[in-house]
Structure 1
């Protein structure tokens, strides 16, 4: 989300548009992507909301991948994330995908492109061998045991907290869901907003992450796979009960007075300026935490809390929500038809991990060489190394329609305008099973 992009992957194409373009993809399934051996540039389609990938690719083109860049110069174009899926599907239908691109917001859409013969599969290649096991596991979970993407991020998710605000309110680091919930009430009584969370439009995943995490802790790590395979429904009582718990937090005002009006950037700013005590977010945000221009509370004032266990629940706190965030894919015909594109892919796989870490970004690639990193980045590396079983985000296994329904209704859920039962009914009706 993990695919924000989650950051997680935050927005997806409306289902109607996806269906229309899918017809075009099916009609062109035997064609190439338009990037052929005669290509004069290594074209990469980035998104406006992610500056790290273009920065790292540019650095590689000037350093470790200078030879590849001389043979096939890097050319970066940008697209708004909200319209990325539609653009990729249109380009796929026109056999005009770039050499490489930020993968679609919804994993189902990349699988659709793959089914139409548009996406390179790195399974079994030397490129795949450069991906660390925990990241490869996450990729295979999303893409049916295929390596369709290169993980330019490796993120864990959990609850970041402002140490000073907790200390001032007399709150110790919570060790269970029950103590975490009690701390919300204590902070609220002390005049401190307990949680910063985005809920505006497609950024509603800032609230739905809480739903998914609570479900995993109460129902176990396979809870959302059961939804995907149809053996359970979101409208089953145990699932609606979980969503109702989060809705109650919203009704109590713990997500702030109007999460539906808060976008991702605003929620991040609220936390980094000391306006809220807790912030559920992936480790992609550490780059902002380490930025003194953005972080006004100080990096040493930020702690990390794995989403805690729920008394009597089937899940545990060492089952870590993890994702490969904003990953990249390659055009199949460009990769298969041009050795220069293959050389770019190999150079990225071998060197991206270290180059990104110099920018404060942890990736799913093995790191080639030693890189000195800030304490919060070290903390994330330690948490990743200590992770046991990993789980996905709430919408990870949903199709585009259900993802849109979930994320656009996250804000109303977090403001208490929508009950958990109504929220789950809406999402389930969009799943089509």
Structure 2
């Protein structure tokens, strides 16, 4: 799922609609309310329409499967109708349809600023009261709900058809051979990395070419040290990345690079090479998201073997305000519901059926993990996949990631400068200053 997970996630909040586009959208939409009733109410659709990003084949495959099976009754009353739009033009298409009062019943949208604007204009459904009314609000994983609300200004403005958490995958055999246990603190993690390096084992595999696997570590350290609202404080202007505590986080990650813990030439390592380095046993640890489970489960890619791979959370920071059980999370392309069809019985029936069955069908039919509960037993997965699923189903809160609330310019700056940071050609202060300047100038 890398095409619609990591790449789109980095784009997800790194890109934002331009101020001019949002102004046009607000003008076209009119109104200021955010409730379901402000978008026009109970219009009667001719189909359960879904505008899907062309590149995302999973969500429409799941809905199609449901329409033929668990939701066949709902589909007979209101047939599923799917249209596709290239993701590069999706935001523009959604804004155009919103301005024409012609949004489909459901649609993908990967630009949260647009969704928030649509919600403020009464064009999309706040799903929390609707799902409560339908009695299916408990079908969403609490941690997924937390992630959605962080993305959409405190509201449940999208269904988490995909759900990913991030952490550190580790090679159990390497850990055992060197007498290491799973570290619970940053200091323990660094001590383990030092021990591995001394023994001639590369501690971490990471893609400096991509940049974000490294900047994720900076964000995670910030969340563990300063608490889950630390990056929102930056977005809201209450703090700056150049503040000492934020610079200190970048320095901690820079220190890993200075010690050689990412291996040689990290700046030239691309995503697939970094993944391959870990899956062939050439590095002990890999920071990555749950989308990598498909690679781990593929014996053609994974010569270490899924049984020999574990998953651990980013460790705690001594004296920090964050919690080790707050996993960085994302929802891929959220499925948004138009409020134009609020209170329509057939639409409500469809949404209720989706809530009850999407999680099972996604896992069973597409081998993907969603933000919905899995209510029907599926074939047993490998141990690490089961571990991650259990973690996701029991987690109650989440955090975002370093660039989640950045504009496009700051996201690009952050990811391009990650390799210079860990290679020593850019100081932590210079790195954070460059990103902060991009945030300020690009806002």
Pairwise CA distance, 1:159: 0.7
Partner Cα distance (1:16, 1:147) in 2 = 19
Pairwise CA distance, 1:422: 2.1
Check whether the contact 2:170–2:309 (CA below 8 A) recurs between aligned residues.
yes
1:27 aligns with 27
Pairwise CA distance, 1:119: 2.5
Check whether the contact 1:207–1:410 (CA below 8 A) recurs between aligned residues.
yes
Quick one: which of 132, 136, 146 aligns to 2:145? 136
1:18 aligns with 18
Pairwise CA distance, 1:185: 3.2
Quick one: which of 184, 187, 211 aligns to 2:196? 187
Pairwise CA distance, 1:111: 1.1
1:115 aligns with 120
Check whether the contact 1:12–1:85 (CA below 8 A) recurs between aligned residues.
no
Check whether the contact 1:241–1:420 (CA below 8 A) recurs between aligned residues.
yes
TM-score, structure 1 length as denominator? 0.83
Structure 1 stretch displaced more, 126-135 or 138-147: 126-135
- Residue 255, structure 1, aligned to residue 262, structure 2: yes
* Structure 2 residue ranges without an equivalent (≥5): 32-38
2:36 aligns with none
Partner Cα distance (1:43, 1:388) in 2 = 30
2:34 aligns with none
- Write out per-residue CA displacement over residues 25-49 of structure 1, whole angstroms, 9 at most, x where no aligned residue: 133123989xx8565572331352x
Quick one: which of 166, 183, 197 aligns to 2:175? 166
Check whether the contact 1:290–1:376 (CA below 8 A) recurs between aligned residues.
no
Pairwise CA distance, 1:170: 5.1
1:355 aligns with 361
Check whether the contact 1:218–1:312 (CA below 8 A) recurs between aligned residues.
yes
Q: Residue 401 of structure 2: SS of its match in structure 1? A: coil
In structure 2, the CA distance between the partners of 1:410 and 1:102, relative to structure 1 (3 Å rule), is farther
2:374 aligns with 367
Quick one: which of 41, 63, 67 aligns to 1:57? 63
Pairwise CA distance, 1:94: 6.0
2:35 aligns with none
Check whether the contact 1:108–1:400 (CA below 8 A) recurs between aligned residues.
no
Partner Cα distance (1:131, 1:14) in 2 = 26
Partner Cα distance (1:350, 1:415) in 2 = 48
Structure 1 stretch displaced more, 322-331 or 82-91: 82-91
Pairwise CA distance, 1:336: 3.6
Q: Residue 120 of structure 1: SS of its match in structure 2? A: coil
Check whether the contact 1:37–1:337 (CA below 8 A) recurs between aligned residues.
no
Pairwise CA distance, 1:382: 2.9
Check whether the contact 1:321–1:391 (CA below 8 A) recurs between aligned residues.
yes
In structure 2, the CA distance between the partners of 1:187 and 1:93, relative to structure 1 (3 Å rule), is farther
Q: Residue 303 of structure 1: SS of its match in structure 2? A: strand
Q: Residue 211 of structure 2: SS of its match in structure 1? A: helix
Partner Cα distance (1:38, 1:318) in 2 = 42
Pairwise CA distance, 1:352: 0.3
Pairwise CA distance, 1:300: 0.4
2:164 aligns with 155
Structure 1 stretch displaced more, 166-175 or 208-217: 166-175
2:108 aligns with 102
Pairwise CA distance, 1:124: 0.6
In structure 2, the CA distance between the partners of 1:47 and 1:415, relative to structure 1 (3 Å rule), is farther
- Residue 345, structure 1, aligned to residue 345, structure 2: no
In structure 2, the CA distance between the partners of 1:109 and 1:269, relative to structure 1 (3 Å rule), is farther
Check whether the contact 2:207–2:214 (CA below 8 A) recurs between aligned residues.
yes
1:124 aligns with 129
Partner Cα distance (2:167, 2:268) in 1 = 23
- Residue 418, structure 1, aligned to residue 423, structure 2: no
Pairwise CA distance, 1:7: 6.4
Q: Residue 185 of structure 1: SS of its match in structure 2? A: helix
* Structure 1 residue ranges without an equivalent (≥5): none
Q: Tell me how many residue pairs correspond in the alignment.
A: 422
Q: Residue 28 of structure 1: SS of its match in structure 2? A: helix
Partner Cα distance (2:193, 2:114) in 1 = 38
Partner Cα distance (2:13, 2:232) in 1 = 23
